Structure 1
Amino acid sequence: MNKLIKNRFLRILLHALVWLALFCLPYLLASSQNLNVMVVAERVIVPLVLSALLFYINYLWLTDRLMFRKKRLLYFLINIALIALFVSFRMWAREFFFVPDDNGPRQRPPVIFFIYFDSISFLIPWAIAVAASVFERWIKTEAERKESENARLQSELEHLKYQLQPHFFFNSLNNIYALVDISPEQAKVTILALSTLMRYLLYESNTEKVSLTKEAEFLLRYIELMQLRTSANTVIETDFEEIPEEAQIAPLLLIPLIENAFKHGISATKQNRIHISMRFTDGWLHFETRNGNHPKNETDRSGSGIGLKNIQKRLELIYPDSFTFNKGVEGNEYTARLTLKLG
Structure 2
Amino acid sequence: MAWKAKHFRRLIVHSLSWLGFVFLMSSKAVDLTWGFFARSEGSIFLPVLYGTVFGAIIFYGNYYYLIPKYFSQRKKWKYWFFAVGSLLVVCAIESLVDILVLIQKHGLQEKNSDGSEDFGAFATLVFANTLTANLACLIFSFAYRFPKDWIRNEKQKNQLEKDKLRSELDFLKAQINPHFLFNGINSIYHLIGSNNELAKHTLLQFSGLLRYQLYECNVDFISLQKELEYLKNYVNIEEIRKGEDAVFSIDFPDMSDNQFKGLKIAPLLISPFLENAFKYLSHNSERERNYVNIALGVTGNVLHIFIENSTDPKLKKKPESEGGIGLVNVKRRLALMYPNDKHQLTISSEDRKFQVELILSLHEN
Check conservation: 1:41, 1:97, Cα contact below 8 A.
Answer: no
2: CA distance, partners of 1:180 / 1:51: 86
- Does residue 296 of structure 2 align to residue 278 of structure 1? yes
Deviation, 1:194, is: 0.6
The one-letter code sitting in structure 2 at the alignment partner of 1:136 is: K
Map of 2:55 onto structure 1? 51
Alignment of 1:313-328 (within 5 A): 313-321=332-340, 322-328=342-348
Kindly indicate whether the alpha-carbon contact (under 8 Å) linking 1:212 and 1:248 is maintained by their aligned counterparts in 2. Answer: yes
Please state whether the residue corresponding to 1:338 is helix, strand or coil.
strand
Deviations 1:277-316 (A, max 9, x none): 3333343332221223444522899x84521111001111
Residue 51 of structure 1 aligns with an amino acid whose one-letter code is G
- Whether the 8 Å contact between 1:67 and 1:75 is mirrored in structure 2 is no
In 2, Cα distance between equivalents of 1:38 and 1:74: 36
The question of 1:62 aligning with 2:66 is answered yes
Match of 2:307 in 1: 289
Pick closer, same or farther for the CA change 1:250–1:89 going to 2, 3 Å. Answer: farther
Instruction: Sort the Cα spacing of 1:221 and 1:127 in 2 relative to 1 into closer, same or farther, 3 A.
Output: same
How far the C-alpha of 1:339 sits from its partner, in A, is 1.8
| Aligned residues between the structures | 334
Q: CA 1:147 to 1:198, structure 2 compared with 1: closer, same or farther past 3 Å?
A: same
Match of 2:267 among 244, 247, 251: 251
SS at match of 1:182: coil
How far residue 223 of structure 1 moved from its aligned partner, in angstroms, is 1.1
- The SS at the match of 1:298 is coil
Q: In the TM superposition, what are the counterparts of 1:122-141 in structure 2 within 5 Å?
A: 122-141=134-153
State the percentage of identical aligned residues: 29
Q: CA deviation at 1:127?
A: 1.8
Shift of 1:30: 4.2
Cα deviations by residue, 1:7-58 (Å, 9 ceiling, x for unpaired): 8688668756754663454448449xxx669334046434333322321222
**1:336 partnered with 2:353:** no
> What does residue 102 of structure 1 align with?
none
1:264 maps to which residue?
280
Whole-angstrom distance in 1 between the partners of 2:305 and 2:5: 45
Unpaired runs of 5+ in structure 1?
A: 100-106
Q: Which moved more, 1:114-123 or 1:17-26?
A: 17-26
Displacement of 1:6 in angstroms is 9.3
Q: Which range is displaced more, 222-231 or 192-201?
A: 222-231
Write out aligned runs for 1:10-21 (5 A). 15=14, 19=18
Match of 1:88 in 2: 96
Assess, with a 3 A threshold, how the Cα gap between structure 1 residues 141 and 5 changes in structure 2: closer, same or farther.
Answer: farther
* Cα drift, residue 67 of structure 1: 4.1
In the TM superposition, residue 122 of structure 1 has moved relative to its aligned partner by 0.9
C-alpha separation between the residues in 2 aligned to 1:144 and 1:89? 45
CA–CA distance in structure 2, aligned partners of residues 335 and 28 of structure 1: 83
Show structure 2 runs of 5+ residues with no match: 32-38, 108-116
TM-score, structure 1 length as denominator?
0.81
In the alignment, residue 53 of structure 1 is paired with which amino acid? I
Hey, what's the Cα distance between the residues in 1 that align with 2:57 and 2:317?
78
Q: What is the 5 A alignment of 1:1-343? A: 15=14, 19=18, 22-23=21-22, 25-26=24-25, 27=27, 29-30=29-30, 38-42=42-46, 44-69=48-73, 70=75, 71-72=78-79, 73-95=81-103, 110-232=122-244, 233-240=246-253, 242=257, 243-269=259-285, 270-271=287-288, 272-295=290-313, 297-298=315-316, 304-305=322-323, 306-321=325-340, 322-329=342-349, 333-343=353-363
The two structures have a TM-score, normalised by structure 2, of 0.77
Distance 1:206 1:45, change over 3 A: same
Cα distance in structure 2, aligned partners of 1:114 and 1:18? 26
Shift of 1:256: 0.5
Distance 1:96 1:172, change over 3 A: farther
Measured after TM superposition, the shift of residue 160 of structure 1 is 0.8
Query: Quick one: which amino acid aligns to residue 201 of structure 1?
Result: Q
AA matched with 1:288: F
